[in-house]
């Protein structure tokens, strides 16, 4: 499979690198690394994402090269960090998904238990802590050029999805790769300094974060923490920072809390949710899958667009999360 992918890329010139409509550190890091690789191979890479890059990721150099407009003419597309067509919503709504289907498609992903993109000719979906780990393995096997920027972006991808090599999906291979990247000149402290610098926020957001924390609900004996962000606040603050990301990690600091759920409500009836779980409660991915989403055991998300009431979705989500947590307790 890997050799076939190498052949397809070698025979293509204009290549679109696609992220899902929920970009994160792994998808962006992998996309930026792949852009460097293809550029050094003499290709013409184009970075695409259907939504704006979240502000907390804009410390990564190159994020501003990402376009929301899919080019009409290209030879190949490479989808990174998702195997789910439902996460390519904008392409589906605009009909541009048909442009992808008319050309070869490669998928590089590490999420398990998700429905595969049916029209992809080549899909590498392997257990790994991050898509960046898979990309590094392919690059090593095919002897692709990895310049200093590509190396930093692969490290960023792996560190992002492993939460600094702390999740239970982190393997010895993940650690070995980071060690190899450091040997090749990547500075992990420098990456972390850049990430922390991006976390500095306007004073207005600090006050808003305080208000959000006061609205956090603790349910099921405080095992579940939830916050709901209405459209008015999404519209007002999202340009500066994702409101959910302001507080979701803090929500997990309560003594009994095992999972945090950040809901967003949109004027068209769409409901989204980000899920983060503490170590020992790896239910985020399974909970997201219940609602047609996906992700990792400790970080996942879902989107509802079928018009159901928010109160119904929230109640179902809390009930399912409680059930999953009770199953863990019964096995321990």
Looking up residue 103, the CATH number of its domain turns out to be 3.90.1640.10
pLDDT of residue 89: 85
Residue 194, sorted as left (phi over 0), alpha (psi -120 to 50) or beta, turns out to be alpha
Which of 196, 226, 256 is the last residue in one of the domains?
A: 196
Does 191 lie in the same domain as 209? Answer: no
CATH number for 326:
3.10.310.30
Contacts of 61-65 with CB under 8 Å at 24 or more apart are 61/32, 61/149, 62/32, 62/35, 62/149, 62/153, 63/28, 63/32, 65/35
- 77 DSSP 8-state letter: E
Does 172 lie in the same domain as 77? Answer: yes
First to last CA, the chain: 40
Does 266 lie in the same domain as 151? Answer: no
pLDDT of residue 198: 66
Does 277 lie in the same domain as 129? Answer: no
Does 160 lie in the same domain as 85? Answer: yes
Does 134 lie in the same domain as 227? Answer: no
Which of 131, 165, 196 is the last residue in one of the domains?
A: 196
Number of domains in the chain: 2
Does 16 lie in the same domain as 163? Answer: yes
How would you write the pLDDT of the chain (332 residues) with one tens digit per residue?
899 999 999 999 999 999 998 898 999 999 999 999 999 999 999 999 999 898 778 889 999 999 999 999 999 999 999 877 878 888 988 999 999 999 999 999 998 655 578 788 888 888 899 999 999 999 999 999 999 999 999 999 999 988 889 888 899 999 999 999 999 999 999 988 887 776 677 889 999 999 999 999 999 999 999 999 999 999 999 877 889 989 999 999 999 999 999 999 999 999 999 999 999 999 999 999 999 888 788 888 999 999 999 999 999 999 999 999 999 988 76
If DSSP codes are grouped into helix, strand and coil, which group holds residue 327? helix
Does 212 lie in the same domain as 187? Answer: no
pLDDT of residue 1: 85
Which residue range(s) make up the domain with 306? 203-331
Look at residues 93, 59, 307, 319 and name the one whose alpha carbon lies nearest to residue 198: 59
**Cβ pair 30, 131 in contact under 8 A:** yes
pLDDT of residue 4: 92
pLDDT of residue 296: 81
Does 213 lie in the same domain as 185? Answer: no
Does 71 lie in the same domain as 177? Answer: yes
Does 158 lie in the same domain as 272? Answer: no
Which of 196, 215, 247 is the last residue in one of the domains?
A: 196
């Amino acid at each position: 499979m890997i050799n076939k992918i190498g052949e397809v890329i070698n025979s293509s010139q204009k290549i679109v690198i696609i992220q899902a409509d929920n970009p994160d550190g792994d998808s962006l890091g992998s996309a930026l690394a792949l852009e460097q690789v293809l550029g050094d191979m003499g290709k013409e890479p184009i970075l695409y994402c259907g939504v704006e890059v979240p502000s907390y990721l804009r410390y990564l150099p190159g994020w501003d090269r990402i376009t929301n407009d899919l080019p009409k003419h290209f030879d190949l597309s490479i989808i990174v960090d998702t195997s789910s067509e439902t996460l390519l919503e904008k392409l589906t709504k605009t009909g541009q998904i048909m442009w992808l289907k008319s050309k070869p498609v490669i998928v590089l992903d590490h999420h398990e238990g998700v429905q595969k993109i049916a029209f992809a000719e080549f899909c590498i979906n392997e257990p790994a802590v991050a898509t960046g780990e898979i990309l590094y393995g392919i690059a090593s096997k095919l002897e692709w050029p990895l310049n200093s920027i590509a190396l930093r972006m692969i490290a960023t991808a792996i560190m992002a999805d492993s939460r600094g090599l702390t999740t239970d999906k982190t393997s010895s291979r993940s650690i070995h790769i980071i060690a190899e990247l450091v040997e090749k000149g990547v500075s992990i402290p420098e990456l972390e300094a850049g990430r922390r610098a991006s976390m500095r926020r306007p004073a207005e957001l600090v006050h808003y974060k305080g208000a959000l924390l006061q609205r956090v609900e603790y349910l099921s004996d405080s095992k579940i923490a939830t916050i709901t962000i209405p459209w008015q606040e999404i519209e007002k603050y999202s340009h500066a920072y994702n409101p959910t990301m302001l507080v979701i990690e803090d929500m997990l600091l309560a003594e009994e809390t095992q999972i945090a759920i950040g809901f967003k409500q949109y004027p068209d009836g769409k409901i989204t949710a980000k899920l983060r779980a503490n170590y020992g409660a790896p239910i985020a991915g399974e909970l997201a899958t219940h609602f047609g989403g996906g992700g990792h055991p400790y970080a996942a998300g879902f989107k509802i667009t079928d018009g159901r009431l928010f109160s119904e979705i929230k109640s179902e989500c809390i009930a399912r999360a409680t059930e999953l947590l009770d199953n863990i307790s019964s096995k321990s």
